[in-house]
Amino acid sequence: MELIDKNVPKELTVHVVLDNYGAHKTESVRMWLLTHPRFQLHFTPTYSSWMNQVERWFSALTTKYLQRGVHHSVTELNEGITEWAEAWNKNPKPFIWTKSAGEIFASMRKYLGASVSEQTSEEGH
């Protein structure tokens, strides 16, 4: 956060996307955030972790590269994956949630039935 604070122009607001893990709740982090009000925290929807984003990336690797290619050796496969990842990183596209927390919870309730708490609201997501 200090590195970001030093390198982002002071007149800009910094939006930080976090999962719901509790690291941001430590006293030292809370105090730092109080003294850096331009940092705005946004949390991923409950039951949607950063691992979902990692899975999406591997899905893209699989469908856009691995399933389309022929690899004659492990070395060739490794080199190809590295080249694909480097190309991806030159023009990255963020993964974007297109549903609200309410829509996600409604879908989960439909799928899981009564096991999903009815007390969950969109507030804080």
Q: Name residue 18's beta-bridge partners.
A: 43
Per the structure block, which two tokens stand in for 85? Answer: 């990842």
Instruction: Read off the pTM.
Output: 0.42
* Average pLDDT rounded to a whole number, residues 62-91: 91
| Distance set, CA 51 to CA 44, 93, 110 (Å) | 11, 17, 23
- Of the chain, the end-to-end C-alpha distance in Å amounts to 21
- Residue 97 has what pLDDT? 65
Residue 15 φ then ψ, to 5°: -100, 125
Per the structure block, which two tokens stand in for 20? Answer: 């719901």
Please give the Cα distance from 96 to 93 (Å, whole number).
9
- Residue 84 has what pLDDT? 92
